[in-house]
Homo-oligomer: A and B are copies of this chain.
Amino acid sequence: MSKPKVFEKPIGVKDYLPGAVAKLRHIERQVLACMQGWGYEQIMTPTMEYYDTVGVASSTSDQKLFKLLNNRGTTLVLRSDMTSPIARVVASLLKDADFPLRLSYHSNVFRAIEEEAGREAEFFQTGVELVGDSSAEADAEVVALAIASLKAAGVERFKIAIGHVGFLNGLFEETLTGREEAQEQLKACLLGRDYVGYREQLRKLALDEPVQRELEGILRLRGGQEICDQALQLSGNAKARESIGHLCEIWDVLKAYGVCEHVLIDLTMIGDFSYYTGMTFEGYAADLGFPVASGGRYDNLLSQFGRKAPATGFALKTTRILELLGNEADEAVQRTLIVYDATGRAEALAKAQELRGEGVKVVTERVNEESMEAYKAIRLRGVVEEPFTYKGIAYTGFDDFVLKGGSAT
């Protein structure tokens, strides 16, 4: 195997230069502040977790986990999401904390195989978990907060598609009783939004005409609250009907939040995490093919860490939002340049200190033989009025302390 070149970084990971960092930090700040406004407080967990605990619980497939050994020979993973680590914390460090718990995070997460498809092996997520509340009210709260968070991040045009794991499970159990493989194939098509493949799978199953029509019919189950009525007509299965009832309630609460313009019920939606047990949702920005947010209810995950509790939450895909907003103009940094020589040093550095105390960003430079030419070019302009560039950096202010009290070259 050839060695990587000295300047290379691994495939699938990124460097962020100051302009990008400023934007990413801005999104992070705005979103975390929004979440705090809803009572969610931030927690942080380690980058590495035990494979046997968080790794296994994470619902990220084994081949997508970055694994490493610690010096005792125990397998660790780089976290692939924040939901499982937070579940661990809720069951350990926070085991005596009352429910409901409202927690937020901003964190990098890792997926090993993604790099193959040109996707990122390390990316940022900003999200919340609402633990200890099983109500439709709680589900609606996280959906409404996801909407508020996307707005806080600067995403203007977007839709949240809400589905329910129980509806599809109930419908498939009813119509494809005992045929688990067929159920899994159909779900895989829906997860991949491959509706052509879904119809093809259905035909291959050689179902009775009415059943076939019923299962094809769910592809049209996308819209407002009226979709719930249509779905109730479609299935007599108790689990499916209960799920629809729960979605109906969520819609009612979202109406009270006044955010239904952003919401769409989509009963073909399957969350991308196997631990989801109820409502799931994804957020789509206009003109963007991939989700910028995803979330759902996971009522069985906490019990894997020894503290049974219902929970619901979501994560913004912050790195994608950064790409989405990346073309907006940079906010220019206002900097002042202070130039000095040995005679003006103390005065110059004191002036810099004074300006910094007032919030001005100041770069100081002692003029030496090398930089004298570049300096003279500025000096000639006197006190510079408009922005200028010196050694590749943009400045809006200039002050000099060269031969103060004498005459400058």
Residues in chain A within 8 A of chain B (CB atoms): 1, 3-11, 13-18, 20-22, 24-25, 36-39, 41-50, 52-54, 63, 66-68, 70-74, 76, 78, 88-89, 91-94, 97-100, 102-103, 108, 110, 112-113, 115-116, 121-122, 135, 137, 141, 144, 148, 253, 255-258, 304-306, 333, 335, 345-346, 349-350, 353, 356, 359-364, 366, 368, 391-393
Contacts and interface: CB of A to CB of B under 8 A. Distances in A.
A115 to B, nearest CB: 7
Task: State the oligomeric state as a number of copies.
Answer: 2
Contact of A306 (B6, B121, B304): B6
Contact of A47 (B47, B115, B364): B47
26 contacts: A4-B52, A6-B53, A7-B53, A7-B88, A8-B92, A9-B53, A10-B46, A10-B49, A10-B70, A13-B48, A15-B44, A20-B44, A21-B44, A37-B359, A37-B361, A38-B361, A38-B363, A39-B362, A48-B121, A63-B71, A68-B78, A70-B115, A70-B121, A135-B368, A144-B349, A256-B345
Contacts of A18: 41-43, 103
A38 B366 contact: no
A1 B360 contact: no
A363 B102 contact: yes
Contact of A46 (B14, B73, B345): B14
A255 B15 CA distance: 37
Q: Chain A's interface: helix, strand, loop or mixed, by majority?
A: mixed
A96 to B, nearest CB: 9
A391 B97 CA distance: 9
B350 A37 contact: no
Contacts of A8: 50, 53, 92
Given A1-B73, A39-B362, A361-B36, A15 B45 contact: yes
Contacts of A4: 50, 52-53, 74
A98 B366 contact: no
Given A47-B47, A47-B78, A67-B68, A256 B7 contact: no
A218 to B, nearest CB: 30
B53 A253 contact: no
Nearest to A357: B37
A392 B15 contact: no
Given A6-B53, A38-B363, A335-B39, A122 B356 contact: no
A397 to B, nearest CB: 12
A89 B8 CA distance: 9
